[in-house]
Amino acid sequence: MRFEIRRLNGEFRITTVYVTHGQAEAMTTSDRIAIMSAGRIGQVNAPHFLCTGPRTCFVAGFIGQTNLIEARLEGGKIGFDGYRMQVGQLHECRRVVADGCGSHTPITGA
C-alpha cells in the first residue's frame, strides 16, 4: 500500500495527508512527517532530519533514537557519570539531555 501511495503522489503531483501509527510506513511514504503527541505537533521535517535531529525527547523516543543521556552543561562540555564531552554552541544551563549516537560521539574521561 505504501508504495502505491508514493507512486500516485508522484504521478499526479498531489498533496496527500496520510495518518498512520506505523513508523516504517511514514518514513517510506512521506516527504515530510508531522509527529504529534496529545494533539500537538512536536516536530515537522523530512524523515532523514527527524532521525538525525529530533528537537525533543518525545520525538527522539518516538522515532527510536533512544541513546538519550541526562547530563550537566559546564564550560562548553556536557558531563555525565564521570565523563565529559565537548559540544557545539550552547548556552550555559543546569541540565541538558544529550543525544548520544554511538558512532558520532567521542567520550573521554573527566
Question: What pLDDT digit, counting tens, does each position of 25-41 carry?
Answer: 888 888 899 999 899 99
12 and 49 together in one domain: yes
Give the distance from CA 104 to its chain's centroid: 15
56 & 88 share domain: no
Q: Which residue has the cell 503522489?
A: 9
Regarding predicted confidence, which is higher, 21 or 70? 21
- Structural domain of residue 14, as residue ranges? 2-62
Q: Are residues 79 and 34 in the same domain?
A: no
Q: What is the pLDDT of residue 15?
A: 84
Closest C-alpha to 67, from 98, 28, 34, 32: 98
3-state secondary structure the chain: CHHHHHHHHHHHCCCCCCCCCCHHHHHHHCCCEEEEECCEEEEEECHHHHHHCCCCHHHHHHCCCCCEEEEEEECCEEEECCEEEECCCCCCCCCEEEECCCCCCCCEEC
Name the pLDDT band for 109 (thresholds 50, 70, 90).
very low
Are 58 and 6 found together in one domain?
A: yes
Instruction: Say what the pLDDT of residue 33 is.
Output: 93
How confident is the model over 41-94, as pLDDT tens digits? Answer: 999 999 998 888 888 878 888 887 666 667 777 777 777 778 777 766 555 444
Q: How confident is the model at residue 107 (pLDDT cuts 50, 70, 90)?
A: very low
Predicted confidence at residue 110, as pLDDT, reads: 41
- pTM value is 0.61
Task: Copy the grid coordinates of residue 75.
Answer: 564550560
Domain limit, last residue, from 45, 62, 79: 62
